[in-house]
């Protein structure tokens, strides 16, 4: 409905004022800094203009490119894991007949979202510690299994981090997919059953296509959120055995706050925003957003 020109502006002003002032201006500050040679130890280095040097260094920095790859691996594994488990849980709860159980499950499954990510990361650290102190290892020892060194090898450390983040992310996936399942009218399922389409077949031919739009938008949103993951990696593995879990955000953080290369870190942050934006732009074309 095209009406008064002023209306959209008024409505949007409040929200975008906040976003622009707090986030976009901060972004611009970072952007400007990324062209300087700001090294925390060099006095006045924030006024030195170095052009694209920081970006050039980033291109050749093997640790940075490695961290990008690690980020992608992490996101890929996480998305697959979280979507599968979330979908499984949603289907499970949807198929439950006892109303009380449904309510209980719905409530309890949203609890992990409410725990501070710092705290839950510490809990996962405690659970997966090597030696007898780790909770999981202690459980295993009751069954006579030797303690496993979860954090020792790159692959399993990545697994632990994926699990830790999944614990926080699955409730969200579950909620959305469960809601999507609720929306599907019951007669669709009933007529499918009459036609003899049950179980796995029903899943494949009926449920999944109906869920597809929800899953698509969910994937994008989760991917963007996963890109920002920091707490589990920082607390559980600190970058992991030999950089195995050093994701891009962790490396950017370290360059700024541990090594003091602020300008370089700003350049990396710019790149870190660019990549998901480009990916979103590409995928948004296929999904009505």
Q: Which span sits near other proteins by CB under 8 A: 73-81, 200-208, 249-257? A: 249-257
For 227, other C-beta atoms within 10 Å of its C-beta total: 19
Question: Quick check: 59 binds other proteins (CB under 8 A)?
Answer: no
Give the interface size with other proteins as a residue count (CB under 8 A).
125
Question: Quick check: 37 binds other proteins (CB under 8 A)?
Answer: no
Q: Which span sits near other proteins by CB under 8 A: 25-33, 72-80, 200-208? A: 25-33
Q: Restricting to residues 141-200, which ones interact with other proteins according to CB under 8 A?
A: 141, 144, 146-147, 149, 151-152, 167, 170, 175-176, 178-180, 182-183
77 or 243: CB nearest other proteins: 243
Kindly state the smallest distance separating residue 47's Cβ from other proteins, in Å. 13
Question: Quick check: 221 binds other proteins (CB under 8 A)?
Answer: yes
Sole binder of other proteins in the list 68, 77, 206, 216 (CB under 8 A): 216
| Cβ proximity of 132 and 138 under 8 Å | yes
21 or 80: CB nearest other proteins: 21
Question: Quick check: 95 binds other proteins (CB under 8 A)?
Answer: yes
Site string for other proteins, 104-143 (x = CB under 8 A): xxxxxxxxxxxxxxxxx-xxx-xx-xxxxx-x--xx-x--
Kindly state the smallest distance separating residue 244's Cβ from other proteins, in Å. 9
33-53 exposure pattern, b = at least 16 Cβ within 10 A, e = fewer: bbbbbbbeeeeebeeeebeeb
Question: Quick check: 257 binds other proteins (CB under 8 A)?
Answer: yes
Give the closest residue to 153 by CA, choosing from 137, 130, 136, 169.
130
Question: Quick check: 97 binds other proteins (CB under 8 A)?
Answer: yes
By the 10 Å C-beta count (0-12 exposed, 13-18 middle, 19+ buried), 125 is classed as: middle
Sole binder of other proteins in the list 207, 222, 249, 263 (CB under 8 A): 249
Kindly state the smallest distance separating residue 207's Cβ from other proteins, in Å. 13
Kindly state the smallest distance separating residue 74's Cβ from other proteins, in Å. 13
Question: Quick check: 8 binds other proteins (CB under 8 A)?
Answer: yes
Sole binder of other proteins in the list 52, 92, 188, 208 (CB under 8 A): 92
51 or 152: CB nearest other proteins: 152
């Amino acid at each position: 409905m095209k009406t008064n020109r002023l209306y959209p502006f008024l409505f949007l002003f409040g929200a975008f004022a906040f976003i622009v002032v707090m986030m976009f201006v901060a972004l611009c500050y970072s952007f400007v800094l990324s062209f300087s040679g700001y090294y925390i130890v060099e006095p006045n280095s924030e006024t030195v203009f170095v052009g694209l040097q920081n970006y050039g260094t980033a291109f050749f920095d093997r640790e940075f490119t490695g961290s990008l790859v690690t980020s992608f691996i992490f996101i890929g594994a996480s998305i697959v894991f979280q979507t599968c488990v979330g979908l499984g849980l949603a289907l499970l709860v949807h198929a439950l007949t006892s109303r009380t159980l449904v309510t209980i499950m719905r409530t309890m499954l949203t609890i992990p979202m409410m725990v501070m990510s710092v705290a839950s990361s510490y809990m996962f650290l405690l659970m997966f510690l090597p030696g007898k102190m780790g909770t999981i290892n202690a459980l295993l020892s009751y069954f006579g299994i030797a303690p496993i060194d979860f954090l020792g090898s790159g692959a399993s450390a990545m697994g632990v981090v994926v699990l830790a983040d999944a614990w926080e992310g699955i409730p969200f996936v579950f909620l959305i997919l469960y809601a999507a399942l609720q929306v599907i009218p019951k007669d669709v399922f009933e007529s499918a059953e009459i036609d003899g389409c049950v179980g796995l077949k029903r899943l494949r031919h009926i449920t999944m296509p109906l869920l597809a739009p929800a899953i698509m938008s969910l994937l994008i949103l989760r991917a963007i959120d996963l890109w920002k993951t920091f707490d589990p990696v920082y607390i559980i593995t600190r970058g992991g055995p030999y950089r195995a879990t050093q994701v891009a955000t962790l490396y950017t953080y370290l360059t700024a706050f541990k090594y003091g290369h602020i300008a370089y870190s700003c350049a990396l942050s710019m790149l870190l925003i660019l990549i998901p934006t480009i990916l979103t732009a590409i995928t948004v074309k296929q999904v009505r957003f």
